[in-house]
Structures are given as structure tokens and as C-alpha cells.
Amino acid sequence: MKDLECTVISNREVSRQTFLMNLACRMESFIPGQFVMLKIGKTNDPLLRRPLGILAYTRGTLALLYRVKGAGTRHLSTLKEQETVFLLGPLGNGFALPHAEEIVYVAGGTGLPPLLALANHLGRGHFFLGAHSSADIPFECFKRAVTIATEDGSFGLKGLATDLFEAFPLKSDFLIYACGPSGMLKAVSEIAHKSGARCLVSLEERMACGFGVCSGCAVETRSGTRRVCTDGPVFDAEDILW
């Protein structure tokens, strides 16, 4: 797979430790839920690429929304206009598009970008977001109504995204899309299962290569061990051995 050379158009903080980066590049069209493996410049520091969910891609501009979590993303956050990055992508299997009329999205932690991409593509559905506080919410990235819960109560409901989801009048013909921490995904899966609704989850396992060579992102499913980068990151929640 060939590296795509991209130029930074902008890279700015849109909420606490969360950055919106726009890159000029020529990439294939993507399916919401797919990701890229990004490398900073031509150096090997950091050694491993960073997997980042795609927020949007239009007319040669790729948008990535990411949170600073370690040395690699901290370095990424310092990039300025006209600097160069290299990426592989789009990678992985994205979300299956719905046949259901009613759609629910549940996002938490760093699980926001792929679900925002999907919601903006579909233009409908109920969107629930959980964050620690209002300072962690990138409000300017929302193009549609989002119902929010914060753990400290600084915005919306005081609680978790799963509290919003559990209170929603779910029916068996709904389709649920979720991305976030594994504990949240497990809870969303259980709530969806009780209602009979189908639930698709995007897993956030640590990835080293992005295309199935290292098997560092293995997850156990009902049909055996699967690699999140190539078999996912999107899976039917019923297949995951939580």
C-alpha cells in the first residue's frame, strides 16, 4: 500500500486536548467508520503510526478529529500549516448503511469522529454523546442536534452516554451505531439486545500496523479471533465476546 503525502491546512484545538486537523491530500472516497494510519513527516519518531478515524473527506480535504493521549498525538498537535504527514488509507471496514428508518448513535471518549461522519452522511437519527465535562466537547464540529451527558454535570445530563441511551424508547426495528470505550460498548450492546435492536460497534483497540500484519489488535468473537484493523473496526455487537 502506497503512502499518501499530505499537507497540513490547519491544526487547531477545538476542545480540551482535542484537535481538528485538515489535510490537503488525494484519497479514495471513504465509508464512515474507516480510518487512516498517519505518520508525521519522514522521520521514525514516533516509530508507530497513529490510527485516526476519518471525520470527513471532500474535494481533496481530509478532516481528522483526534485527542492528545500520548507522545505521538502530542507531537501531532504541534504540526503547523504547510508541514507534511504521510498516511495509509482509507483502511478497515466501515459501517453498514441502514435499512431501518430509526437510527441511534451513541458516542463516548474518542469515539466521536466515525459516528459524526456517519450521522452527517445519513442526515438523520438520534445522537447521544458522553464526555467528562463541557470542556471536552468540540461543539463546532456538530452539524446536527446532539444530546449530551457529562460526568461532572457541566453540560446536559449529569451522567454517561449510556444513561441517555437507556432512557430512550428503543424498539426492535431500530439500528444502533456505537463507538467509544469498551465498557460503554458492552453496556450499549446489552441494552440493544434486550430490546431486540441490532447494534453495530466500532472498536478502539490499539493498532500498530493497520492492515493485519502484526495481529496486535486481536479481539475475540463468536467465530474466533478477529483483527480489528482488517476485519473491523466495525462489528455486529452480538458477535463480540465481551
Report the CATH number at residue 60. 2.40.30.10
Instruction: Look up the domain containing 209 and give its range.
Output: 103-239
pTM of the predicted model as reported, rounded to 2 decimal places: 0.92
122/215 same-domain check:
yes
138: in domain: yes
Domain boundary among 36, 69, 91: 91
Q: 78 is written with which cell numbers?
A: 504541534
Per-residue pLDDT of the chain (242 residues; tens, 9 = 90+): 678 999 999 999 999 999 999 999 998 889 999 999 998 866 655 556 789 999 999 989 999 999 998 888 899 999 999 999 999 989 999 999 888 779 999 999 889 999 999 999 999 999 999 999 999 999 999 988 999 999 999 999 999 999 999 999 999 999 999 999 999 999 999 999 999 999 999 997 665 555 556 566 788 989 889 888 788 899 999 999 98
- Any idea what the Cα angle at residue 32 is, between residues 9 and 170, rounded to 5°? 130
Determine, yes or no, domain membership for 96: no
CATH code at position 197: 3.40.50.80
Choose one of 64, 91, 118: the last residue of a domain.
91
Beta pairing partners, 234: 202
Answer yes or no: do 84 and 111 share one domain.
Answer: no
